[in-house]
């Protein structure tokens, strides 16, 4: 036998969850998030209206790409020297 209250409980929980999620979504959209451009420091709105985010413009995006390409920027690592693939010396 299914109790009448239990029969609709899942629908009530689902409706409450949707309501809470909608409230959170509204809270998040009310706040405008801004970040600073990593190249020039200009304030950039984090949203669809800023296609180059986190950069303020295409120019700053390309400057950053160039720094990576020139190896001015790199991700730090600890190389394992025991398994080096150094082919500069003749192996015997």
Binding-site members for Zn(2+) are: 37, 40, 56, 60
Where is the binding site, in residues?
Answer: 37, 40, 56, 60
Helical H runs in 1-92? 4-7, 9-30, 58-69
**Alpha carbon distance 61, 53 (integer Å):** 9
24 CB-contact burial (10 Å; exposed 0-12 / middle 13-18 / buried 19+): exposed
Q: How far apart are CA 30 and CA 58, in angstroms?
A: 27
How many Cα atoms sit within 13 Å of 91 on the Cβ side?
4
């Amino acid at each position: 036998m299914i109790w009448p209250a239990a029969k609709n409980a899942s629908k009530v929980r689902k409706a409450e969850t949707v309501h809470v999620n909608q409230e959170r979504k509204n809270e998040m959209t009310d706040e405008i998030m801004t970040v600073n451009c990593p190249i020039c420091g200009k304030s950039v709105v984090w949203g669809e209206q800023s296609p180059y985010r986190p950069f303020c413009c295409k120019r700053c995006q390309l400057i950053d790409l160039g720094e990576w390409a020139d190896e001015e920027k790199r991700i730090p690592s600890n190389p394992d020297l025991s398994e080096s693939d150094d082919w500069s010396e003749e192996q015997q």
